[in-house]
Amino acid sequence: MFTAFLIKYAEIGVKGKNRYLFEEALVKQIKNALKRCEGRFEVTRTPGRIYVEALSEFDYDETVDNLKTVFGISGICPVVHVEDEGFEKLGQDIVKYMDNVYPEKNFTFKVQARRSRKNYPLNSMELNVELGGVILDAFPELKVDVHNPDVLLNVEIREKIYIYSETIPGPGGMPIGSNGKAMLLLSGGIDSPVAGYMIAKRGVKIDAVYFHAPPYTSDRAKQKVIDLAKQVSRYTGPIYLHVINFTDIQLYIYEKCPHDELTIIMRRYMMKIAEHIAKETECLGLITGESIGQVASQTVQSLAVTNEVCTLPVFRPLIGFDKMEIVDVSEKIGTYETSILPYEDCCTIFVAKHPVTKPNLNIIKRHEQNLNEKIEELMQTALDTDEVIVVNYEG
């Protein structure tokens, strides 16, 4: 029945040149999402609205599901197209539409007609009244409510006539590519995929880095991170995933530094390396899944010590979230099931029984001096052996 979708987006704060960029980016992301769907589509833009029109048979559910992954879309309205064959035929089409879409006739409605073609014989007001009458004749159980209708039936007179009344909620946010790029530190846990999703939702393109520590972390752990990146890329588009071999750095820190400071020092080196790759790949910030107080390395003191190595801004969208709130999002975006698979991530192997929870920056820096002999060389080797995997969700 439906042959097109009207795409709604929130324009607040998006004006002038920014609005143009926003719409351009949104159209591009819609086209990308539609590539994953069966059928051919045309995406057209007129000021303030975007239409997706099917040019062939298509799978309605699949198409809606994919449009729901496009940040920037606030609502998806399925549209019925009819040819303009006079008012009487339009009345019949409208009655058929109401009957199909609302099998239960126990609601109030209002017709909202719009003419973008002024040569139509009735004006908008007349259309509202006349079509309202036709509907009431067909379904006397219905009532009109012009102030607060249950169903707002939109009828747009263009070349063809567009009829729609339902709005399926979109993900909101801003289209990818409208807000620069950032580097996500992606582990196999629950938090970092959610953090990446949340920053991407603000229009930020995402690349990712994973610190792998073979043989302490298995190939399955690496595959798990690739799978998570793939799930996140459903929303973000292709992700360049950098896999950094972190084993020698980790072992060196283990050998030279107090074990209760191992995690915090390790995290500082992860951030340093991630920032290095970020700067080489035009990323303007880093993203982590940290949340205050979740573990010893995420106390306010620990976060401050970790942060100290970075010059780029570090985005921590989960900073004030409880675990349950993070789990809710991960279930919603489909990463939870993968995240809870039991493979070791590189931090769990070396964790001390009693890690410092209030690290002192000066003491940490002093202990890092123990690494002077080899750390630069080890970091360089890690960067030189960066394995880049292009990850993309293909449906």
Residue ranges binding ligand ATP (CB under 6 A): 185-187, 189-192, 209-211, 270, 288-290, 294-295, 297-298, 345-347
Q: What is the distance between the alpha carbons of residues 203 and 186, in angstroms, rounded to a whole number?
A: 18
Residue 41 contact among Mg ion, ligand ATP, none, beta carbon within 5 to 8 Å by kind? none
CB nearer to Mg ion: pick between 186 and 391: 186
Structure tokens belonging to residue 322: 């409880």
CA distances from 335 to 182, 232, 303, 328, 388 (A): 20, 8, 25, 10, 21
CB count in 10 Å sphere of residue 387: 12
Q: Which residue is nearest to ligand ATP (CB)?
A: 189
Q: How far is the CB of 267 from Mg ion (least distance, A)?
A: 11
Q: How far is the CB of 74 from ligand ATP (least distance, A)?
A: 29
CB nearer to Mg ion: pick between 175 and 189: 189
Q: What is the CA radius of gyration of the chain?
A: 27
Residue 288 contact among Mg ion, ligand ATP, none, beta carbon within 5 to 8 Å by kind? ligand ATP
Beta bridge partners, 288, equal none
CB nearer to Mg ion: pick between 156 and 345: 345
Q: How far is the CB of 64 from Mg ion (least distance, A)?
A: 34
What burial class does residue 48 get, using C-beta atoms within 10 Å of its C-beta: 0-12 exposed, 13-18 middle, 19+ buried?
exposed
CA distances from 344 to 176, 216, 225, 276, 341 (A): 32, 8, 11, 26, 9
Q: How far is the CB of 263 from Mg ion (least distance, A)?
A: 11
Is there a contact between 53 and 41 (Cβ–Cβ < 8 Å)?
yes
Q: How far is the CB of 169 from Mg ion (least distance, A)?
A: 31
CB count in 10 Å sphere of residue 337: 11
Binding site for Mg ion (CB under 5 A): 187, 189, 345
Residue 251 contact among ligand ATP, Mg ion, none, beta carbon within 5 to 8 Å by kind? none
CB nearer to ligand ATP: pick between 281 and 294: 294
Residue 297 contact among Mg ion, ligand ATP, none, beta carbon within 5 to 8 Å by kind? ligand ATP
